[in-house]
């Protein structure tokens, strides 16, 4: 079972993960408008990852007999001056999410909720990867600066990113993670 405090905090995080998806969808669209198909692909793959993160919270709240309470999503930014700004905003947002996950872990400890603490470990590890991916691309963008040819080469590289997470959750996250045969 979940305490009221933990249930509210999990719902808050569910909203933040949905906002993450919304933000990356917005950035992806902006990339498409600029003709940066590879960047657009990278952010759309990120969108799918965030939907998985959100759905894991959704399923966990239900599994624990809690109540999913969906809230309004904030409007994401839609104007970006450059790919560098897009990734700066992405890293800034992921650092916010990392802090938010860490706060949730702290709460689960103070509420003596061991199950939620264990559930959150996956997100703690995931956030290390999220920030590392952003830092890696940011480093390349800082080298590229205004070199259009180098930017297009990076765009081709980002076009290769594939969605590796399930995108269909009708039968639940765990079933989707096990694949179609589950
Ligand atoms: Fe859900 O990790 Fe990004 O926001």
Superfamily of domain 4-162 in CATH is Ferritin, core subunit, four-helix bundle (1.20.1260.10)
Query: Is the CB of 97 within 6 Å of ligand 1?
Result: yes
Query: Is the CB of 108 within 6 Å of ligand 1?
Result: no
Geometric angle at alpha carbon 135, from 131 and 140, rounded to 5°: 155
Q: What is the pLDDT along the chain (182 residues), one digit of tens a residue?
A: 999 999 999 999 999 999 999 999 999 999 999 999 999 999 999 999 999 999 999 999 999 999 999 999 999 999 999 999 999 999 999 999 999 999 999 999 999 999 999 999 999 999 999 999 999 999 999 999 999 999 999 999 999 999 999 999 999 998 999 876 54
Nearest-atom index, ligand 1, CA of 20: 4
**Which of 16, 11, 10 is CA-nearest to residue 116?**
10
Query: Is the CB of 52 within 6 Å of ligand 1?
Result: no
Query: Is the CB of 53 within 6 Å of ligand 1?
Result: yes
Ligand 1 pocket, mutate which of 96, 127, 132, 134 (most atoms under 8 A from CB): 127
Report the SS3 class of residue 59: helix
């Amino acid at each position: 079972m979940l305490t009221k405090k933990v249930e509210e905090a999990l719902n808050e995080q569910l909203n933040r993960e949905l906002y993450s998806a919304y933000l990356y969808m917005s950035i992806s669209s902006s990339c498409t408008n600029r003709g940066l198909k590879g960047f657009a692909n990278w952010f759309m793959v990120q969108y799918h990852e965030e939907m998985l993160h959100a759905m894991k919270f959704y399923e966990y709240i239900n599994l624990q007999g809690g109540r999913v309470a969906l809230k309004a999503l904030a409007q994401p930014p839609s104007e970006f001056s450059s790919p560098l700004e897009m990734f700066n905003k992405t890293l800034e947002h992921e650092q916010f999410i990392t802090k938010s996950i860490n706060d949730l872990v702290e709460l689960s400890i103070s509420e003596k909720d061991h199950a939620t603490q264990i559930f959150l470990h996956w997100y703690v590890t995931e956030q290390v990867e999220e920030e590392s991916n952003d830092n890696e691309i940011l480093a390349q963008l800082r080298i590229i600066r205004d070199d259009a040819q180098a930017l297009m080469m990076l765009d081709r590289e980002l076009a290769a990113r594939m969605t590796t997470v399930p995108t269909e959750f009708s039968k639940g996250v765990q079933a989707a993670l096990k694949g179609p045969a589950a």
